[in-house]
Structure 1
């Protein structure tokens, strides 16, 4: 479970101080699926970075299962990310010189998983997202939708507790968007993940159980009765 209390993040912009997050209070239960929406610059990606331990708040706390991520040393924070949190980004972030299978295996290296088990788990993860026949393909040999499937497999191969996605369908056309959302929804249900996603797409938000809206660093959360 996530507990955010009075979480603020301030940046300097010239002589001004900008509040990217202005005292956020938020609870995300285990197994929850939360979509974050709002205008550009409203704090969406900043909030996701806080949840993922990729950035630290200026003040307040970001607790995951009772541990304040903001108070951890960099080495302990890296360990928490490696073991518990999977990330999916709009730009895929695949290593162009590695095959699909090798890209997925990279998530297991920090966990000191042996080479044979890495290969087996990566192959199984790719099969679970419908890419069993593409293990040896480089990213340039895959479509955008296939590259995002590789990225999803990489996020999930380590069996994380949390999946964080930042505009995962932003670079895809409508048909690919729907396919990727089907994959993400299936993974969320099958693995019992806590799933938090930033998106501008209202059709995606309309299917989520909870929707958080961020404007000027302030948050409102609504239950979606139509999900």
Structure 2
């Protein structure tokens, strides 16, 4: 479970101090699903970075399963990210010179697994996202939707507890967007993941049971009775 208490993140822009997050209090239950929305520059990605331990708050606490992500050492934080948190980004972030299989395997390197186990788990992950026959293809040989599926497989291959997605369908057309979203929702249910997604797409937000709206660093959470 995530428990955020008084989370504030300040940035210095010239002589001006800007609060990207301003005293955010938020609870995300295990297995919960939350969509984060808000205007550009409102703090959406900053909040996701806090949840993923990619940045530390200026003040307040981000606690995941009793561990304050802002207070632990960098080495321990790296371990938490490697073992417990999967990330999916808008730009896919695949290594162009590696095959789909090799890109997925990169997520397992920090776990110290043997080569055979890495290969088997990566192949299984790609199969689970419908790319079992494309393991040897480079990113340039795959469509945008297929590249995002590789990125999703890379996020899930380490069997994380949490999946964080930052505009995962932002570079996709409407049809492919829906396919990828259906895949993410299915994986959330099948794996019991805690799933948090940033999106500007209101159609996708309506599919979520909870929506956190950020404006000027402050968060309002609403329950969506029609969310899946």
Q: Which residue of 2 aligns with 1:71?
A: 71
- Kindly report the root-mean-square deviation, in angstroms, between the aligned alpha carbons of the 2 structures: 0.3
What corresponds to 1:200 in structure 2? 200
Residue 141 of structure 1 corresponds to: 141
**Cα offset, 1:226, TM superposition:** 1.1
Paired with 2:82 and 2:163, the residues of 1 have a C-alpha distance of 12
TM-score (normalised: structure 1): 1.00
Is 1:182 matched with 2:210? Answer: no
CA offsets, 1:6-41, max 9 Å, x none? 000000011000000000000000000000000000
CA distance in structure 1 between the aligned counterparts of 2:141 and 2:72, rounded to whole angstroms: 40
Distance 2:164 2:38 in 1: 17
Distance 1:142 1:113 in 2: 27
**1:62 paired to 2:62:** yes
Alignment of 1:29-108 (within 5 A): 29-108=29-108
Aligned residue pairs, count: 227
**What is the CA deviation profile of residues 26-58 of structure 1, one whole-angstrom value per residue up to 9, with x for unaligned ones?**
000000000000000000000000000000000
Q: TM-score scaled to structure 2, two decimals?
A: 0.99
Q: Please report how far the alpha carbon of residue 69 of structure 1 lies from its aligned counterpart in structure 2 after TM superposition.
A: 0.3
Alignment partner of 1:35: what SS? Answer: strand
Structure 2 unaligned segments of length 5 or more: list them.
none
Deviations 1:122-153 (A, max 9, x none): 00000000001100000000000000000000
